[in-house]
Amino acid sequence: MKLRGEPVRASELDPGFKLEVITHGAARDITACFSCGTCTAGCPIHEIFPEFDPRKIARMVNLGMRKRVLSSPYIWYCATCHACEENCPQNVKFFNVLNVLKNMAAKEGYAPPVWVNQTKQVTRTGIVFPTEESWVRKREGLSLRPLKGDAKGATKLIQSVGADRIKPRA
């Protein structure tokens, strides 16, 4: 699903979408956005992937473009640097807005397969990224302790928020 390049149809707008988003306290300032674009101008991910446009996502939320926003792969691109909220003149916590959108998207079956696979990896090993043999050897050479994750603790945490039940988007 594209964020741009397709006409917006009134029939696809859901006026309740922004209200749903702001019920999550962390995202409550999104309705104050006046589309100035400061967030986009300072976003390091936008610089690399112009398709990822915080200003546009904020506008789409406020317009009620529920399906396009939640099914978009771009809401998962954020590097969590917080520059957008540092710079926003309206005090919109855009990083929080994205987290709310990602949670909603995951519940509605739009989680990217890579995210679901990573959750499984953490459940299995307690480590976010698969360990490569070269890292193990390098650590041994530096006399560092072997990498060992807390799989049991990680699984408990993942299960407590229901992330183990999330299905990847088809």
Structure tokens at 137: 């050897």
72: contact with ligand SF4 by CB under 6 A: no
94: contact with ligand SF4 by CB under 6 A: yes
Position of tokens 């509605």? 108
69: contact with ligand SF4 by CB under 6 A: no
Taking CB under 6 A as the criterion, the residue among 62, 90, 99, 103 binding ligand SF4 is 90
Q: Which residues contact 148 (CB under 8 A, 6 or more apart)?
A: 126
In whole angstroms, how close is the CB of 55 to ligand SF4 at the nearest point? 4
79: contact with ligand SF4 by CB under 6 A: yes
Q: Which residues contact 37 (CB under 8 A, 6 or more apart)?
A: 55
Of 137-166, which residues contact ligand SF4 (CB under 6 A)?
none
- Nearest to ligand SF4 of 88, 100 (CB atom): 88
Position of tokens 């699984």? 155
Taking CB under 6 A as the criterion, the residue among 88, 100, 101, 104 binding ligand SF4 is 88
Structure tokens at 121: 């990896």
Half-sphere exposure of 55 (CA within 13 A, CB side): 15
Query: How many Cβ atoms from other residues are within 10 Å of residue 145's Cβ?
Result: 7
Identity of the residue numbered 145: R
82: contact with ligand SF4 by CB under 6 A: yes
Judged by CB under 6 A, the number of residues near ligand SF4 is: 26
Query: How many Cβ atoms from other residues are within 10 Å of residue 78's Cβ?
Result: 22
49: contact with ligand SF4 by CB under 6 A: no
Q: Which residues contact 8 (CB under 8 A, 6 or more apart)?
A: 63, 65
- Of 79-87, 112-120, 136-144, 149-157, the segment contacting ligand SF4 by CB under 6 A is 79-87
Question: Which residues in this chain contact ligand SF4 in the complex, by CB under 6 A?
Answer: 33-39, 43-45, 54-55, 58, 78-84, 88-90, 92, 94-95
